[in-house]
Amino acid sequence: MSPAPAPVPDHRPALPRRRDWRIGCAGAGFVMADCHLVAYRNAGFNPVAIASRTPARAREVAARHAVPTVHETVDALLADPRVEVLDVAVPPAAQPDLIRRALDLGRGRLRGILAQKPLALSVADARDLVARCAAAGVVLGVNQNMRFDQSVRAAKDVLRRGWLGEVVLATIDMRAVPHWMPWAEGLPSLSTFVMSVHHLDTFRYWLGTPDRVLASTRPDPRTRFPHRDGVNLYILEYDAGPRAAAWDDVWAGPVEVPSSTVPGSKLEAAGSNLQPGTVELGTSSRYIRWRVEGTDGLMQGTIGWPRYPAREPSTLEYATRDRPGEWVRPRWDEVWFPDAFVGTMAQLLVAIEDGTEPEVSGRDNVETVALCEAVFAAAAERRVAAVNEFLGGRM
């Protein structure tokens, strides 16, 4: 008798029973136009209105995605009596005030808010938003979309099922150039709260919140505006035993990245500093790889995002002690951008329907914000930082 096939981890998000929740979209930039609305249409969700600080951009995006109503101001959208769920896609510094206005203008009507990651740039602001939403009876979810990357989600299922035993070490190796938007220039932190937040939250998703962090950073030579944190290296320590580490290399070598690839890209905003004669190193020099080692097995994979806008699915493979020599390699057609954004909205809608906390709730994201603050402080102050120092006691 042949052995039973190895179990395959699940990467699919739970979907709401009702697909016609009326969604209002605040913001019309790249992430809304090319990720949120593409994913929502594919999933059969129901965006009914949109607004942006640039009305012409909102009209353009609405026409592209058949959103029936365009409001001339964001406040008009927040006051729209048809909107049941607010989808926020504005810069992180502007998000807390927008959510506070939404709670006021949508009082008694608004059922849920999907905020961008991170929920805020400080634990104090994040806690305030959580408390205000709870008091208003509004379900607050956060768009930590890397949790819904297919390989990241499948890896969580492997860990949840205990196939690797106890985790010993988890690592993420990124050599890729993020798309800094122009608004990033004014932030107190660049890489930590814009790029590293994805990996820090992924480690939290896989392993929980760490107890301490060690970190080092240096400016990114390609980014010409002043910034403190560019290339980020950090180690996460867990009293329970696991260790996690990442190197978020946003320089990735002297590689030319066409600014036309993504509107508002880093090079479009900051300008290339490449010297004449620089050799293009090719796309093979840009990647994100991850690996998790356990007492009973090993899994590793890749993230397809650095190839965007090409559709390259992320990958996962795992092997366990009880099936020596056998690697399980599930595959899927979905990709992080834009397909993961089905899951981020779905987790909010499911929570509204079931009266539960979203998978990535505002309350949960407070700990990701605290972890970002700890990493930024550890690097800036050259010290070991305890996460509870920034969390001030868990919620």
Distance CA 146, CA 150 (A): 9
Predicted local distance difference test score (pLDDT) of residue 281: 54
pLDDT digits (tens, 9 = 90+) for 291-313: 999 999 999 999 999 999 999 99
pLDDT at 270 over 80: no
Residue whose C-alpha is closest to residue 9's, from 299, 269, 234, 339: 299
pLDDT at 258 over 80: no
Task: Return the amino acid letter for 188.
Answer: P
pTM: 0.93
Token pair 């260790």 in the structure block, residue? 243
Residue whose C-alpha is closest to residue 22's, from 42, 49, 44, 52: 49
Average of pLDDT values for 373-386?
98
Predicted local distance difference test score (pLDDT) of residue 34: 97
Distance CA 119, CA 235 (A): 23
Q: What is the CB neighbour count within 10 angstroms for residue 221?
A: 13
Predicted local distance difference test score (pLDDT) of residue 268: 38
Residue whose C-alpha is closest to residue 273's, from 319, 230, 304: 230
Residues 6+ away with beta carbon under 8 Å from 240: none
Predicted local distance difference test score (pLDDT) of residue 179: 82
Averaged confidence pLDDT in the chain: 92
Predicted local distance difference test score (pLDDT) of residue 191: 97
- Phi, psi dihedral angles at 381 (to 5 degrees): -100, 0
pLDDT digits (tens, 9 = 90+) for 325-356: 899 999 999 999 999 999 999 999 999 999 99
Predicted local distance difference test score (pLDDT) of residue 68: 98
Strands, E assignment, 231-314: 231-237, 243-249, 287-294, 297-303
Residues 6+ away with beta carbon under 8 Å from 187: 92, 93, 121, 193, 194
Predicted local distance difference test score (pLDDT) of residue 5: 79
Predicted local distance difference test score (pLDDT) of residue 165: 98
Distance CA 95, CA 115 (A): 8
Tokens of 249: 């290399």
pLDDT at 271 over 60: no
Structure letter (DSSP) for residue 132: H
- Is residue 387 a contact partner of residue 212, using CB atoms and an 8 Å limit? yes
pLDDT at 318 over 90: yes
Least confident of 103-107, 144-148, 201-205, 279-283: 279-283
pLDDT at 367 over 90: yes
Q: How confident is the model at residue 262 (pLDDT cuts 50, 70, 90)?
A: very low
Which domains are seen in the chain, by residue range? Answer: 22-145+344-360 (3.40.50.720), 150-335+369-381 (3.30.360.10)
pLDDT at 122 over 90: yes
Average of pLDDT values for 361-385?
98
Sign for the CA dihedral angle at 262, 268, 271, 276 comes to positive
pLDDT at 264 over 80: no
pLDDT digits (tens, 9 = 90+) for 7-37: 899 999 999 999 999 999 999 999 999 999 9
Tokens of 36: 């949120």
Predicted local distance difference test score (pLDDT) of residue 392: 81
- Is residue 42 a contact partner of residue 64, using CB atoms and an 8 Å limit? no
- Is residue 236 a contact partner of residue 213, using CB atoms and an 8 Å limit? yes
Structure letter (DSSP) for residue 2: P
Token pair 């609305």 in the structure block, residue? 37
Token pair 């994979």 in the structure block, residue? 301
pLDDT digits (tens, 9 = 90+) for 85-94: 999 999 999 9
